[in-house]
Amino acid sequence: MRFARRRLTDPVLAEDLVHGVLEAVITGRASFGGRAALRSRLVAILRHKIVDLVRQRVGHDSLDAAHDNNSDDDGERAAIELTCPQPRPDEVAVQRQRLQRTLQRLEQLPPSLRRVVELRVLQDRSTRDVCSTLCIREQNLFVRLHRARHALAG
């Protein structure tokens, strides 16, 4: 079992393969001539079954190939790091809390700063469009945005 579990990531699959080896030996499909120790013969049969399994799954993505490529010089295997592009539920909760706080702070801004943020950041309107809507110069827009961001961050 230890040999199979070290070679396979799925303990249920490892158990199935060991069971298959024992069944093959008991039913006589795998002959044992006594030329080697029983344990080494069983491990050899198990090794062949694992190779057969890998050959059957050639079309599937294998984590073992990536795992083997991450080996150290000492022969130790490096851990495979799997990342999901989607945020975890705890990260989503933190993002929602931060958004809620930011929206509350946005409501507390003076109307001139709040309007600039709403138009330029939230509505993603162009600098020229925001300036013409509010009848302000571009430089004044940038100053208001700077002040609003500073107030929201604090």
Distance CA 128, CA 109 (A): 23
- What is the average pLDDT value for the chain, to the nearest integer? 80
Confidence band, pLDDT 50/70/90 cuts, at residue 56: confident
The predicted-structure confidence for 8-18, as pLDDT tens digits, reads as follows 878 888 888 88
Q: How far, in whole angstroms, is CA 42 from its chain's centroid?
A: 37
pTM across the whole model: 0.43
CATH code of domain 89-153: 1.10.10.10
* 32 compared with 120, residue with greater pLDDT: 120
Q: What is the DSSP letter of 71?
A: B
Confidence band, pLDDT 50/70/90 cuts, at residue 63: low
Confidence band, pLDDT 50/70/90 cuts, at residue 55: confident
The predicted-structure confidence for 83-133, as pLDDT tens digits, reads as follows 667 778 888 899 999 889 888 999 999 999 999 999 998 899 999 999 999
Domain positions in the chain: 2-69, 89-153
